[in-house]
């Protein structure tokens, strides 16, 4: 047995005739330069050593290989490239076996596909998720996966970014063998020895022929048509299909060259920059100052106060995460409705064949309905989701203060109200925090964790721990009207109202916003959420509104008619029975015209570009204020809020990242130009002005 230390990220040890090559690059064995270098050297070592008959590739830690090192994208490439490493592995004259445990993603799976044989352990996850980063598999994945799995299955894997478990990967043809247990080294050695004993051939993926090319090309045409419809302006999905077409039509090496060229195009695209930003930002948001100060409090039982849409959604989310949940409502009728709301979600899954009645029964066994506060005396964490009214919420918190055990975390799911005031209704404000869920709470990923002034750091840490258990994306927010998301939303929604009153129809505005990449425009969202909700807020704020500030009354006129959107069949759009996509309503246009006439506004035309410039400038400007006030910790927290909770197109990274990519001077110039029309609304954020002056961007505030 001989050991040869290479770069420390990759080590080799010979065991009999097998050279064991171990990748050790924590946390996830990404294929950074040192790993690529180490793998290339290991392959040379195997070629040069006559005593080596086979190479076994294994990895240390929790993942096999999570892919290329995403942090290297956008920096100058340092050789050897990953395609070169993959080629040296595939062309190796010794048998190459990969033993896969944990994630083998992107470049990680491409490395494995370049081995001659693949073994997977039970926890293995295999996938080509490059599309989620605006990329395509760029180390032969688009050429090798179709040869191993068939054209359609491989293309679907690449277009979806989905991960396959070990068994599914075996069925798909991505791996050759499953092993029991968790010892990849032992299982890999046994497999490699078995292959050597059988004198198994060097089975190179590149040599596998693609069956029935004509049928494969027809399938690709169909996938292309579906993808063009579904991918809403995304760049890399169609490029993936082009690569697979090359795999079918071109010799292997030419296919690789096509893949390389298209990969580099994707790498250069702003969509890649936006998606990679979103990937890291979603991980950075959990890095909060409180995590350094305190550990989370232990918790296993949860109470939810209120069984309405929100309370039921939160209950389902907590039940799905394995918690025991007690739901409180004020009387027997309301708690029965609350339980029905919870069961409706599971019954829907059963109806779709996605859950068995037995699984539902097992989940519901952890659910306890009650009308008595005393029943939650021993609960670890309470989430209040009652009517959005400060006095109602304060009364609930006084009750919680009376009954809950000392140390219980008391959370409110308010979306606007002053959490400091709610905390002060108790004698334990250090235990009170905001958990702002988004509807439907069991589906939406965003959780704004709102930190009032007296809360203790371990409660904040507990809230982040809860988010992790619920598989939410948590964003830390400070207390203000609307926190991060709804505060910024209120401002750009106003900008949309101004554009409407000045001449664009709500339908033109929605279309412009959809063209930017949102699934819906702001008026469609109003109709979906219910116009009455915003109306109630506007009425609540009417007394404190600056009388000099511009106020557009169109939405009020619409609500006064009882047109609250989808639920009433009519709002900004018409929803005749059975129609979910709204139809334009000439009567709404007449209302808009009447309001313009009343204000003496002569309507003018807006291009999509101008609509977007105003809409986005309002969003970015308020985002900058939210960051400067410390309501959001960093610009990236604003980005994650909007991508995870407000439908902001992920490939643009978030509003602040988008602004950086546009260039902050051009955004500021727009705001200054708009301010000439309405100086009160368009006040440039001092932070934006300062960054422009210093030649910096928002991203410079994300570091450290």
**Phi and psi torsions of 98, nearest 5°:** -110, 130
Smallest gap from Cβ 231 to ligand 3H9, in A, equals 18
Residue placing its CB nearer to ligand 3H9 in the complex, 292 or 676: 292
471 vs 545, which CB is nearer to ligand 3H9? Answer: 471
Query: In the complex with ligand 3H9, which residue's Cβ is closer, 19 or 461?
Result: 461
Name every residue whose Cβ is closer than 8 Å to that of residue 226 and which is 6 or more positions away in sequence.
none
Measured from the CB atom, the residue of 103 and 425 that comes closer to ligand 3H9 is 103
Contacting residues for 268 by C-beta, under 8 A, at least 6 apart: none
Which H or E run contains 667? helix 664-675
**553 a catalytic residue:** no
The SS3 assignment for 327 reads: strand
Query: Cβ(216)–Cβ(248) under 8 Å?
Result: yes
* Position among 6, 12, 39, 107 found at the interface with ligand 3H9 (CB under 6 A): 107
Query: What b/e readout covers 8-21, taking b as 16+ CB neighbours within 10 angstroms?
Result: ebbbbbbeeebbbb
Judged on CB neighbours under 10 Å (0-12, 13-18, 19+), 315 is: buried
User: 390-415 in b/e burial notation, b at 16+ Cβ within 10 A?
Assistant: eeebbebbebbbebbeeebbbbbbbb
Q: Which stretch binds ligand 3H9 (CB under 6 A): 63-71, 314-322, 347-355, 421-429?
A: 63-71
3-state secondary structure of 311: helix
Tally of CB atoms within 10 A around 427: 10
* Helix axes 309-320 and 332-351, enclosed angle (nearest 10): 60
Nearer to ligand 3H9, 107 or 274 (CB): 107
Place of tokens 């979600």: 345
Binding piece for ligand 3H9, criterion CB under 6 A, among 25-33, 229-237, 381-389, 463-471: 25-33
Beta strands in 618-704 (DSSP E): none
> Tokens 């039509």 appear where?
249
Beta bridge partners of residue 475, listed in sequence order: 448
State which residue, 266 or 305, has the beta carbon closest to ligand 3H9.
266
Structure token digits, residue 27:
């946390």
Tell me which residues in 134-163 interact with ligand 3H9 (CB under 6 A): 135, 137-139, 141
Is residue 499 close enough to count as binding ligand 3H9 by CB under 6 A? no
Catalytic residue among 130, 219, 284, 465: 130
Quote the distance between the C-alpha of residue 562 and its chain's center. 36
Q: Does 69 bind ligand 3H9 (CB under 6 A)?
A: yes
CB 462 within 8 Å of CB 296: yes
Between 283 and 539, CB nearer to ligand 3H9: 283
Looking at 1, 27, 76, 229, which residue binds ligand 3H9 (CB under 6 A)? 27
The CB-of-99 to ligand 3H9 minimum distance in angstroms stands at 17
Q: Is 459 in the site for ligand 3H9 (CB under 6 A)?
A: no
Q: Closer CB to ligand 3H9, residue 70 or residue 294?
A: 70
Sign of CA dihedral 474, 480, 485, 486: positive
- Considering only 167, 230, 283, 398, the residue that binds ligand 3H9 (CB under 6 A) is 283
Is residue 76 a contact point for ligand 3H9 (CB under 6 A)? no
Residue whose tokens read 């204000």: 599
Q: Which stretch binds ligand 3H9 (CB under 6 A): 26-34, 288-296, 314-322, 686-694?
A: 26-34
Closest to 655 measured CA to CA, from 195, 131, 281: 281
Q: Specify the residue, 159 or 504, whose C-beta has the smaller distance to ligand 3H9.
A: 159
Cβ at position 591, least distance to ligand 3H9 in Å: 48
Rounded Cα–Cα distance for residues 184 and 245 (Å): 35
Q: Give CA separation, 138 vs 415, 473, 613, 685, in Å.
A: 43, 29, 35, 42
Contact (CB, 8 A) for 360 and 345:
no
451 binds ligand 3H9 (CB under 6 A): no
- Give me the least distance between CB of 636 and ligand 3H9, in Å please: 12
110 in active site:
yes
Stretch that binds ligand 3H9, among 100-108, 471-479, 619-627, 635-643 (CB under 6 A): 100-108
Tokens of 383: 């989430």
Among 9, 43, 58, 67, binds ligand 3H9 (CB under 6 A): 67
- List the one residue out of 356, 360, 415 whose CA is nearest residue 388: 415
Catalytic residue among 90, 110, 219, 501: 110
Q: Is 585 in the site for ligand 3H9 (CB under 6 A)?
A: no
Phi, psi of 437 (to 5 degrees): -85, 160
CA distance 375 to 399: 12
Tell me if 106 contacts ligand 3H9 by CB under 6 A.
Answer: yes
| Nearest distance from C-beta of residue 81 to ligand 3H9, angstroms | 7
> Residue 465, interface with ligand 3H9 (CB under 6 A)?
no
269 binds ligand 3H9 (CB under 6 A): no
Residue with CB nearest ligand 3H9? 106
Is 282 a binder of ligand 3H9 (CB under 6 A)? no
Which stretch in 99-107, 312-320, 380-388, 621-629 sits in contact with ligand 3H9 by CB under 6 A?
Answer: 99-107
Copy the structure tokens of residue 593: 């015209």
Q: Does 693 bind ligand 3H9 (CB under 6 A)?
A: no
Q: Which residues pair with 324 in a beta bridge?
A: 301
Q: How many contiguous H segments (helices) and E segments (strands) does the chain have?
A: 29, 20
Among 103, 559, 633, 687, indicate the residue that binds ligand 3H9 (CB under 6 A): 103
- Residue closer to ligand 3H9 by CB (options 193, 702) is 702
Contact flag: residue 68 with ligand 3H9 (CB under 6 A) = yes
Binder among 6, 10, 20, 28 for ligand 3H9 (CB under 6 A): 28
Site for ligand 3H9 in 110-129 (CB under 6 A): 110, 129
Q: How many CB atoms lie within 10 A of CB 81?
A: 16
Q: Which is nearer to ligand 3H9, 36 or 297 (CB)?
A: 36
Distance CA 631, CA 626 (A): 5
Count of positions on this chain that bind ligand 3H9 (CB under 6 A): 26
Q: How far is the CB of 663 from ligand 3H9 (least distance, A)?
A: 27
Tokens of residue 632, six digits: 């959001």
Residue 275 contacts ligand 3H9 per CB under 6 A: no
Min dist. Cβ of residue 507 to ligand 3H9 (A): 38
Q: What residues act catalytically?
A: 110, 130
Q: Catalog residues that contact ligand 3H9 under the rule CB under 6 A.
A: 27-28, 30, 63, 66-71, 82, 103, 105-107, 110, 129-130, 133, 135, 137-139, 141, 280, 283
């Amino acid at each position: 047995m001989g050991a040869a230390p290479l770069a420390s990220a990759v080590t080799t040890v010979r065991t009999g005739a097998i050279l064991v090559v171990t990748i050790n690059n924590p946390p996830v064995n990404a294929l950074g330069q040192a790993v690529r270098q180490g793998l290339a050297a290991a392959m040379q070592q195997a070629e040069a050593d006559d005593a080596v008959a086979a190479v076994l590739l294994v990895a240390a830690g929790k993942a096999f290989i999570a892919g290329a090192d995403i942090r290297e994208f956008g920096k100058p490439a340092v050789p050897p490239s990953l395609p070169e490493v993959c080629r040296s592995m595939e062309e190796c004259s010794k048998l190459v076996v990969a033993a896969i445990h944990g994630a083998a993603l992107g470049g990680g799976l491409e490395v494995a596909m370049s081995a001659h044989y693949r073994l997977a352990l039970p926890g293995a996850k295999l996938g080509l998720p490059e599309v989620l980063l605006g990329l395509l598999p760029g180390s032969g994945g688009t050429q090798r996966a179709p040869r191993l799995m068939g054209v359609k299955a491989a293309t679907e894997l690449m277009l979806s970014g989905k991960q396959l478990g070990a068994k599914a990967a075996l069925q798909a043809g991505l791996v050759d063998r499953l092993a029991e247990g968790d010892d990849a080294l032992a299982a890999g050695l046994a497999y490699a020895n078995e292959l050597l004993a059988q004198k198994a051939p060097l089975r190179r993926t590149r040599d596998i022929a693609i069956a029935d090319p004509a049928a494969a090309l027809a399938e690709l045409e169909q996938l292309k048509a579906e993808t063009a419809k579904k991918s809403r302006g995304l760049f890399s999905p169609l490029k993936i299909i082009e690569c697979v077409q090359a795999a079918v039509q071109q010799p292997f090496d030419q296919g690789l060259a096509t893949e390389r060229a298209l990969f580099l195009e994707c790498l250069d695209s702003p969509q890649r920059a936006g998606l990679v930003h979103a990937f890291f930002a979603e991980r950075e948001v959990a890095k909060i100052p409180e995590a350094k100060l305190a550990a989370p409090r232990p918790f296993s039982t949860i109470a939810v106060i209120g069984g309405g849409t929100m309370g039921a959604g939160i209950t389902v989310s907590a039940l799905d995460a394995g918690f025991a949940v007690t739901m409180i409502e004020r009387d027997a009728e309301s708690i029965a409705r609350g339980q029905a709301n919870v069961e409706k979600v599971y019954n829907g899954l059963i109806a779709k064949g996605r859950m068995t009645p037995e699984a539902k029964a097992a989940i519901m066994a952890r659910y306890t309905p009650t009308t008595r506060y005393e029943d939650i005396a021993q609960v670890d964490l309470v989430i209040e989701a009652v009517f959005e009214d400060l006095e109602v919420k304060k009364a609930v918190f006084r009750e919680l203060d009376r009954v809950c055990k000392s140390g219980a975390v008391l959370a409110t799911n308010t979306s606007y109200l002053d959490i400091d005031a709610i905390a002060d209704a108790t004698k334990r404000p250090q235990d009170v925090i905001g958990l702002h869920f988004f509807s439907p709470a069991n589906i939406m990923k965003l959780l704004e964790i709102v930190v009032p002034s007296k809360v203790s750091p371990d409660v904040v840490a507990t809230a982040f721990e809860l988010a992790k258990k619920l598989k939410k994306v948590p964003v830390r927010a400070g207390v203000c009207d609307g926190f991060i998301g709804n505060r910024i939303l209120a401002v750009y929604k106003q900008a949309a109202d101004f554009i409407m009153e000045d001449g664009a129809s709500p339908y033109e505005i929605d279309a412009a916003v959809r063209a930017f990449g949102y699934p819906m425009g702001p008026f469609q969202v109003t109709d979906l959420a219910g116009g009455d909700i915003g109306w109630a807020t506007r009425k609540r704020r009417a007394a404190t509104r600056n009388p000099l500030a511009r106020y557009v009354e169109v939405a009020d006129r619409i609500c006064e008619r009882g047109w609250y959107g989808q639920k009433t069949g009519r709002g900004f759009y018409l929803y005749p029975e059975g129609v979910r996509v709204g139809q334009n309503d000439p009567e709404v246009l007449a209302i808009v015209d009447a309001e313009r006439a009343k204000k003496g506004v002569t309507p003018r035309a807006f291009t999509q570009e101008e609509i977007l410039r105003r809409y986005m400038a309002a969003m970015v400007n308020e985002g900058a204020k939210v960051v400067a006030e410390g309501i959001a910790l960093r610009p990236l927290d604003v980005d994650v809020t909007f991508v995870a909770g407000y439908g902001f197109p992920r490939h643009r990274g978030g509003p602040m990242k988008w602004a950086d990519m546009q260039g902050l001077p051009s955004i500021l110039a727009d705001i200054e130009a708009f301010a000439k029309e309405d100086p009160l609304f368009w006040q440039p954020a001092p932070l934006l002005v300062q960054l422009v002056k210093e030649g910096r961007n928002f991203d410079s505030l994300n570091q450290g």
